[in-house]
Chain A
Amino acid sequence: MIIVYSVATLGILGLIYGLGLAYASRKFHVEVDPKIEKITEILPQANCGACGYPGCSAYAEAIVNNGVDINKCAPGGSAVLGQISKIMGVEATATERKVALIHCQSGGSNNTFFRYKYEGIPTCKAAVQLSNGPNLCNYGCVFQNDCLEACNFDAIHLDENGMRIIDKEKCTSCGACVKACPRDLIELVPVKKRVHVLCSSQDKGAVARPACGNKTACIGCGLCVKKCPVDAITLNNNLAVINYEKCINCGQCADVCPTAAIFDPLKEVRAKKKAEAKAKAEAAKKKVEAAKQKAAEDKE
């Protein structure tokens, strides 16, 4: 009997509350702008915070209610931007797509020189604090994967040497890895720019070069600064820094860099072309000389 009573009591109580709430939700219904819901659905739901708002729905609300710019969603990119601009009736001004770039090319955990073996808490933040990190280089990657774990989009991978490689297709430039790296090695750079300084060492050349596992440390020689035709490179604390607003992708800095700290994927192609051109010119020269010689012989 008591079971029947208890079930009935709770059932009736629940029913009354439920009906009451249902009635109240009708009676006290607040109109919400349907645009907010639509935009929230379009946004990638990564809740990464790259837009500066706590989560996608908060950003959608800010767009509709406060007229915030619609181009702040980095993970969504231009696809999301187009859809939002349709809903809002606002002209879309796309921001340049950026990708994360690691300013260190240590050669990976297999090649880097260590001064001791780190076996502590497996985070970069902890490793960096133990007598300036296990690396011989005081500025390089310490290989504990804080950036990998911070990435929500599976865009950072390890190569066979233990180097961190950023997948440009998957990277949404949300900036999570930039915040995660305790050595500030990661920067968001425009995807169109090709030429990068892949080193963050502020040591002088004599210290920086032997410490780097890949021998590609920036030694602060300043050749690139002199060579750059648009003055896009400056030397800060023995480290060359490219100003991407000025850079024109010419790659001359990569050509003169004595340690290959400045990386340009087209450098070899260019070098090959140059060599070919040189070979051709030499061949032509030889031909001319041979012809001259022949002419002289003929005269004789």
Chain B
Amino acid sequence: MELIGRIFALAIATIFVHNFVLARFLGLCPYIGVSKKLDSALGMGMAVIFVMTLASTFTWLIQTFVLVPLGLEFLQTIAFILTIASLVQLVEMVIQKTAPALYKALGVYLPLITTNCAVLGVAILNINEELNFIGAILNGLFAGLGFTLVLVLMAGIRERLDKAEVPASMKGMPIAMIVAGSMALAFLGFSGLNI
């Protein structure tokens, strides 16, 4: 029971309180760039969840069994980037072979994730917060979920904004920035949660 409680607490903390986009300000590029349409936002979100979970798993293993025993913690960043980049490449190939439809739907987003700082962010945060193996995997999963949630919310708002009467000078990017700011303020409310 206690375990489930802890997992729940981790989920709430990662998805809402320390949301990757709106509280930690990581992965802002896709947040603005891919949030024009609901479908592509959802596709990008799914790809990020997938890659974040895998990346958390592998980077935790690399850190614990390679870098720490050899005393090479300072190589963390470069080793993680190497791991994530190769991982995304591998995932891309596998998806292309096994699920062409999904590959097409994800399109350019999959390789883009390689350079997404949110993925590297979650890998490094896992280590800094000294999570155990299961904790790291779950943290990666929840971080991806939080990212997807915000991305989809943003896309939904922006799709409605297209039909709304926005003053000419505010159309497009300016109003999107204001929406992003309002969303960050709204999510600030979660920081009052004490878990």
Contact = CB atoms under 8 A, between A and B. Distances in A.
Interface stretch (A14-22, A156-164, A208-216, A221-229): A14-22
Given A9-B66, A10-B82, A17-B82, A24 B93 contact: yes
Interface stretch (B40-48, B71-79, B135-143): B71-79
Contacts of B96: 28, 30
A20 B90 contact: yes
Interface residues of A, number: 16
A236 interface: no
Contact of B93 (A5, A13, A17, A28): A28
Q: Chain B interface mostly helix, strand, loop or mixed?
A: helix
B72 A5 contact: yes
Given A14-B82, A17-B86, A20-B86, A9 B72 contact: yes
Contacts of B67: 9
Q: Chain A interface mostly helix, strand, loop or mixed?
A: helix
A21 B86 contact: yes
Interface string B55-82: 0000000100011001110110011001
Nearest to B85: A17
Interface residues of B, number: 21
B89 interface: yes
Contacts of B185: none
B75 A10 contact: yes
A148 B67 CA distance: 56
B170 interface: no
B173 interface: no
B97 A30 contact: yes
A25 interface: yes
A20 B82 CA distance: 13
Contacts of B97: 28-30
B89 A21 contact: yes
A131 interface: no
Interface in B77-110: 78-79, 82-83, 86, 89-90, 93-94, 96-98, 100
Nearest to A5: B70
B99 to A, nearest CB: 11
B114 to A, nearest CB: 13
Given A14-B82, A21-B86, A9 B70 contact: yes
A21 B78 CA distance: 18
A29 B98 CA distance: 11
Given A2-B71, A5-B72, A9-B66, A24 B82 contact: no
Given A21-B89, A24-B94, 19 more contacts: A2-B71, A6-B72, A9-B66, A9-B67, A9-B75, A10-B79, A10-B82, A13-B82, A13-B83, A14-B82, A17-B86, A21-B90, A24-B89, A24-B93, A28-B94, A28-B96, A28-B98, A30-B97, A30-B100
16 contacts: A2-B71, A5-B70, A6-B75, A9-B67, A10-B75, A10-B78, A13-B66, A17-B83, A17-B86, A20-B86, A21-B89, A21-B93, A24-B94, A28-B96, A28-B98, A30-B100
Listed from nearest, the 9 A-B pairs whose CB atoms lie closest are: A17-B86, A28-B97, A28-B93, A24-B93, A24-B90, A5-B70, A30-B96, A6-B72, A21-B89
